[in-house]
Amino acid sequence: MAFLKVANRAISSLASGVDEDDTEWTLATGEGALFPDSGDFPVTCETEIAKCTSRTGDVLTVSRHEEGTDAAAHAEGKAVKLRITAGIIEEIQDVLDGGIDKTHLSQDFGPSSARLLNMILTPISNAILQIEHSRTGPFTALINGAPTATSVVYDGEANESFFNGLQAGAGYWGRIVLRNTTRGNSRKVVSVNLDTNTITTESSTDDWADGDNLTTQSQINAFVGMFDVDLSASVPATWAAILINGKLVDNSGDPGGTTRDAWWHPYEALDYGKLCVVGAYAANSGQAMQFWIPVISQKMCMHFRNSTDVATWSAVIGHAEYADT
């Protein structure tokens, strides 16, 4: 919706008569300047409302019988006016009701060519994922036997406790990405049974095979134990960032232990300026904080440092999206 043009005291008369099909109205000499220099704006002549779409000097190019009025012939000298019509009032009401055209917000701004964002702070009850007794290093293993489309059995694992207390899948937003470094592709983890060494994954057509190497190591952030969390099941591609309430609890019971913390990071090359850290500083204690994390390719990254015997939760409490979406 484009805003209609307006002008004060825009009143003239027809320099010559028009019939009901004419789309050019010529005004009295020199009085075209009283009207906006471009369209769109409404003009009235007798009982007809027309819409001027352009003006060249004293000549108005118009579309006829607007706003439910009938086109009619108008004689020379009849008054032509730019007046407030029901259409103008309806346009104002549309804007007040949220119908404003936001296409002008799709432009890029500033040296980084960043677009404007809307921040939507809508409480969301479901967590991204929950992990207990996490390890600093990534899980690694070999596929043991032929995998199915929705599960894989592993052996020769390291840091299996990475998955202790994992809750993802239904009711949770995130999926840890399980990467097959032999094949160069991945699946999303739904659940892990540590007793049977079975990882249930989302349906996949990947050509995984016995003996392939598996890891939770991040593809983008190849830094110690950083791992990728796929959010695409719940985070639309239009979301630029999510507001997270991140919580970490120390279950070690060791009052002299090392500070344990969890890192949240955008899915891109590691940059400490974009790192959000939540730590536990005493035995059986916890900490929570709120922070924004950019969502890139509908993913983010996490990492645990000195994190044996901790539990972490991540809950989305708001999001930011591009203003032109």
* Structure confidence by residue, pLDDT tens digits, 127-144: 777 776 555 678 999 999
Verdict on whether the full-model pTM lies above 0.85: no
Q: Which two tokens stand for residue 158?
A: 């390291």
Q: Where are the domains of the chain?
A: 11-96, 109-325
At residue 17, the pLDDT reads 95
At residue 142, the pLDDT reads 97
310, 260 Cβ separation under 8 angstroms: yes
Question: Tens of pLDDT along 228-278?
Answer: 999 888 888 888 888 888 888 877 666 555 667 788 888 887 676 778 888
Query: Which residue, 65, 74, 69, 71, is CA-closest to 26?
Result: 74
User: CA 50 to CA 121: how far, in whole Å?
Assistant: 44
Question: Tens of pLDDT along 66-105?
Answer: 999 999 999 999 999 998 888 888 877 776 666 555 554 4
